[in-house]
Amino acid sequence: MTIKRELGEAALKSIHAFHVDTLNFSEVKYMKLYNELFEQLKLEPNYISDNGELKKWVVINKAQNFDPELIELLLDNIILKENFFVKIKEVLVFNQSLFIQFLE
């Protein structure tokens, strides 16, 4: 039985310390999430290079410092919110380590 079936989707999302590869992301799911992230981050020009690539080092640095603008940008997108935040006692907590691991 897979983790998803045992715990259910909602419980799976609430696990705080998990790794992207532990979830067995298929390449397609990973790319969809990455594309969603890329499209959202394009709203902030400082995160995109002149040749249209994501400046991962800038985004990772912002994430490491819990940059309010980055976190707000992520929260504005429901898919990113569901994947990179954990609800604890009605408070959304940014899963910094998961986000950084996803980008690396």
> pLDDT at residue 83 above 60?
yes
Name the CA dihedral angle for 76, 37, 57, 14, rounded to a multiple of 10 degrees: 70
Task: Determine the structural domain holding residue 90 and report its residue range.
Answer: 3-103
Q: Which one, of 95, 44, 104, lies nearest residue 70 by Cα?
A: 44
Its sign, for the CA torsion 96, 42, 36, 55, is negative
| pLDDT, greater one: 84 or 9 | 84
- The percent of residues above 90 in pLDDT, for the chain, comes to 61
Q: Give tens-digit pLDDT for 39-55.
A: 999 999 999 999 999 99
User: What is the average pLDDT across 46-74?
Assistant: 94
The number of beta carbons lying within 10 Å of the beta carbon of residue 62 is 20
User: What is the average pLDDT across 12-40?
Assistant: 68
Q: Per the structure, how many domains does the chain have?
A: 1
What is the widest separation between alpha-carbon atoms in the chain?
Answer: 47
Q: Which one, of 78, 68, 93, lies nearest residue 16 by Cα?
A: 93
pLDDT of residue 74: 96
